[in-house]
């Protein structure tokens, strides 16, 4: 057997055995995975915050987050950004309600080299998970380096022995001649009034406006208004000051709230599928 082919095959098998099944992930999961593996501290913090707000539960992706937390938190020191992002990763694991991550969170909460704020969030997150995990996450279960730099695909097998001279070319000629004709046939243009191809099942309460934009694309129509809480004197958290509505023609509508004026992020509060949605305010 070709040595290069064997080497590539072994590497591919190792990747499948030590990491996640990407084929089973939906667009949201793949987006999280990509950002966790490639993102800097700010991106990691934002992703973890989104996972926390939606109580995200996909264990394959959470395992990657757990290993990334183990990789990043020792580097945090007193650096504000990395401490913040590591703290959000702890909170995201706690919000999953999967006690698989409790031993890991307890480990970090007891690590005196970690920042005090980070240890506090990990301790609080660990307490939100049930005790007695029978399948705890083991450090190193996910190979981050292999996920970030997957091996190239194995080369194709050697071609079969050629037959009589000219036979192969003679058979390929009709297909080659047919190709330009097929390419010349224009694809049918989509109907102008066809509803947007969006999947509301990907959207969860707590998601940010930016996440929804990434998953579904821009809405057919959009509107925004202030709420009466703008004038409440005791609304100290500056909560729910504004609402935003995304309208998708033939699909439905998604309502966002400016959860905190200090955070400045609109988050999903209501998802309303409606095939009769006009898409206009």
- pLDDT range class, residue 164, cuts 50, 70, 90: low
- pLDDT range class, residue 150, cuts 50, 70, 90: confident
The mean per-residue pLDDT over the stretch 114-137 comes to: 93
In the predicted structure, residue 120 carries a pLDDT above the cut 80: yes
Q: Please tell me the distance from the alpha carbon of residue 214 to that of residue 56, in angstroms, as a whole number.
A: 17
Q: Please tell me the distance from the alpha carbon of residue 279 to that of residue 253, in angstroms, as a whole number.
A: 8
> What one-character-per-residue DSSP string does 53-117 give?
HTT---HHHHHHHHHHHHHHHHHHTT-HHHHHHHHHHHHHHHHTT-GGGHHHHHHHHT-TTS-HH
Q: Measure the CA angle with vertex 45, ends 42 and 51; round to 5°.
A: 145
Task: Tally Cβ neighbours within 10 Å of residue 178.
Answer: 10
Query: In 3D, which of 265, 243, 250, 257 has the Cα closest to residue 219?
Result: 250
- pLDDT range class, residue 154, cuts 50, 70, 90: confident
In the predicted structure, residue 36 carries a pLDDT above the cut 80: yes
- Tokens 């930016």 locate to 210
The residue with greater pLDDT, 56 or 159, is: 56
Tokens of 19: 């990491």
Burial class (CB in 10 A: 0-12, 13-18, 19+), 122: buried
Spell out the domain ranges in the chain. Answer: 3-148, 200-273
The mean per-residue pLDDT over the stretch 84-101 comes to: 96
Residue 259 has a pLDDT of: 81
Query: In 3D, which of 136, 147, 138 has the Cα closest to residue 16?
Result: 147
- pLDDT range class, residue 65, cuts 50, 70, 90: very high
The residue with greater pLDDT, 246 or 155, is: 246
The residue with greater pLDDT, 234 or 180, is: 234
In the predicted structure, residue 19 carries a pLDDT above the cut 50: no
Q: Please tell me the distance from the alpha carbon of residue 30 to that of residue 23, in angstroms, as a whole number.
A: 9
Query: What does the DSSP 8-state code read for residue 195?
Result: P
Tokens of 7: 């080497």
- pLDDT range class, residue 89, cuts 50, 70, 90: very high
- Do the strands 221-226 and 242-248 form a parallel or antiparallel pair, or are they unpaired? antiparallel
pLDDT digit string (tens) for 208-249?
999 999 999 999 999 998 888 777 777 777 788 889 999 999
The mean per-residue pLDDT over the stretch 152-175 comes to: 65
- Tokens 């800097």 locate to 40
Query: What does the DSSP 8-state code read for residue 190?
Result: P
Residue 267 has a pLDDT of: 92
End-to-end C-alpha distance for the chain, whole angstroms: 65
Q: Please tell me the distance from the alpha carbon of residue 190 to that of residue 254, in angstroms, as a whole number.
A: 25
In the predicted structure, residue 99 carries a pLDDT above the cut 70: yes
Residue 171 has a pLDDT of: 53
């Amino acid at each position: 057997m070709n040595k290069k082919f064997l080497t590539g095959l072994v590497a591919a098998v190792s990747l499948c055995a030590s990491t996640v099944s990407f084929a089973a992930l939906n667009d949201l999961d793949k987006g999280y995975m990509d950002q966790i593996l490639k993102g800097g501290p700010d991106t990691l913090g934002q992703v973890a915050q989104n996972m926390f707000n939606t109580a995200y539960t996909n264990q394959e992706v959470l395992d990657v987050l757990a290993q990334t937390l183990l990789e990043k938190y020792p580097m945090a020191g007193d650096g504000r950004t990395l401490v913040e992002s590591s703290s959000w990763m702890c909170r995201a694991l706690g919000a999953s309600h999967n006690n698989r991550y409790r031993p890991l969170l307890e480990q970090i909460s007891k690590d005196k080299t970690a920042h005090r704020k980070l240890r506090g969030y990990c301790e609080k997150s660990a307490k939100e998970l049930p005790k007695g995990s029978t399948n705890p996450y083991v450090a190193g279960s996910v190979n981050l380096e292999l996920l970030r730099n997957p091996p190239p695909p194995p080369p194709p097998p050697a071609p079969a022995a050629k037959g009589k001279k000219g036979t192969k070319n003679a058979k390929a000629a009709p297909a080659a001649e047919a190709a330009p004709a097929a390419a010349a046939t224009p694809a049918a243009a989509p109907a102008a009034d066809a509803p947007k191809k969006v999947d509301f099942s990907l959207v969860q309460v707590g998601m940010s406006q930016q996440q929804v934009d990434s998953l579904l694309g821009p809405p057919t129509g959009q509107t925004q208004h202030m709420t009466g809480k703008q004038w409440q004197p005791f609304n100290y958290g500056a909560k729910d000051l504004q609402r935003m509505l995304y309208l998708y023609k033939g699909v439905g509508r998604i309502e966002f709230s400016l959860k905190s004026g200090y955070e400045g992020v609109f988050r999903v509060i209501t998802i309303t599928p409606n095939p009769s949605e006009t898409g206009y305010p």
